[in-house]
Structure 1
Amino acid sequence: MTETAAGLILHTREGVAYRFDPGALCLELLPTGGPEAPGGYEVMRTPADLAAWAGRSRLRVDPALVEVGPGDVERARALRDALWRIASAHARPATDVPAPQPASGPSARSEMSAGGGAGADVEIVNALAAMPSLAPRIEPGGGFGWGGPITGTRVLASVARDAVELFTGPAADRVRECAAHNCRLIFVDTSRPGRRRWCAMEHCGNRHKVRAHRGRA
């Protein structure tokens, strides 16, 4: 698997490369591996892996500037695994997505969160979200940059804060799981009609179209 700042490029077992944009920083961490990852692979093994991911993510941090401590990789994997479970509890298979309706009320949101957002997983997210995160700044030339030390812990704190915003905000009702039966990738449906079904149209969506065409033939 390789990644880009515009989304993830996943190399499948069939050797097909495609672009997958999950729509949120915290969800970009999920395809690095973990118990819920399709194929059961692991990308986050070394400090260099965490620094490289930070550079390819929406954070667009220079990997050479990321100071990764001894425990940061373990914390990254713990955060990712917790986010897998929380996101899976929020997500519905895209095949079950109804027509767009007004946002669910607080009681419905609470029930969904209680299904996979309680206990140790939420504690992991909250503990990291409480730590100092990356500090954005305007560079001398007018561009965007990060101020202060760029540490692995600050990177993970930024990811955790993004997760808090996602799962407690209006977009929580648009967290989806790819509709393909053998794909568990999770994304935020940012489309206006709220009917996105696939991790990527050029991959799972296209394979569905091919199967449907063969079925009609």
Structure 2
Amino acid sequence: MLHDPRGGSFRFDAGAVCLDFAHTGGEGAYAVFETLHQPADLGEWLAQPPLAAVMTVPVTARELTAAKALRQAIWDAAHARAAHHPLPVEAVATINRAAAAAPLIPELAADGTTAGWAPPVRATHALSTLAREMIDLLSGPLSGRIRECASDNCPLVFVDTSRPGARRWCSMERCGNRHKLRALRARRAADS
């Protein structure tokens, strides 16, 4: 669920956890969307599904800084790929640096029916897991399906996992409906 600082919220599925992470805030004009103000905010975000990485070691200020750098690198790389531009060198280096750390290690529960993450669970492990997912996304079969919302004023990026590969909007309930409403108004105005 994404929240607009002007009010309202909408359901948004970016199609990859790393891209969901890229939408947790940002710099400059995107600072109004910031959700990771303190280290505990990062721990809280990582603990939410689908990652569900509950920290067993408190998140540090240094990890929060690294998380924001990774988030920006994922954002920049996703937008470059969506626009069919070369990936920014700095973004690639930041993603690779985060991926070089040990990732989260999956662990099967004793009952054999559920899984979690083997302790210790640190933010650095979760960030590595997100960076590795972004590497797989950028170098895998869905790489050409990274898209930016077709709305004129929406910068959200997503992976188009639809069978026909025709997804255009971040969310049909938000930008898709706005587009339909504008088109309807334009047709009515033309008919008048």
TM-score normalized with structure 1 length: 0.80
SS in 2 for 1:210: helix
2:103 counterpart (133, 136, 145): 133
Partner residue of 1:90?
81
Q: Distance in 2 between matches of 1:189 and 1:36?
A: 27
* Stretch deviating more after TM superposition (139-148 or 193-202): 139-148
Q: Distance in 2 between matches of 1:25 and 1:144?
A: 18
Counting only pairs closer than 5 Å after superposition, residues 21-32 of structure 1 correspond to structure 2 as 21-32=13-24
Q: How many residues align?
A: 187
Task: Return 5+ residue gaps in structure 2 as ranges.
Answer: none
| Pairing 1:168–2:168 present | no
Structure 1 residues 184, 85: CA separation in 2 closer, same or farther (over 3 Å shift)?
A: same
Partner residue of 1:96?
none
Q: Distance in 2 between matches of 1:57 and 1:89?
A: 27
Name the aligned partner's letter for residue 150 of structure 2: A
Q: Aligned-pair distance for 1:24?
A: 0.6
1:120 counterpart (90, 94, 101): 90
TM-score normalized with structure 2 length: 0.90
Q: Aligned-pair distance for 1:31?
A: 1.2
| Pairing 1:209–2:176 present | no
Structure 1 residues 18, 41: CA separation in 2 closer, same or farther (over 3 Å shift)?
A: closer
SS in 2 for 1:29: helix
| Pairing 1:193–2:184 present | no
Q: Aligned-pair distance for 1:75?
A: 0.1
**What is the CA deviation profile of residues 127-176 of structure 1, one whole-angstrom value per residue up to 9, with x for unaligned ones?**
11111010001111320111121001001000010011000111110000
| Pairing 1:60–2:49 present | no
Structure 1 or 2: more strand by fraction: 1
1:76 counterpart (30, 46, 67): 67
Structure 1 residues 189, 49: CA separation in 2 closer, same or farther (over 3 Å shift)?
A: same
Aligned-pair Cα RMSD in Å? 1.8
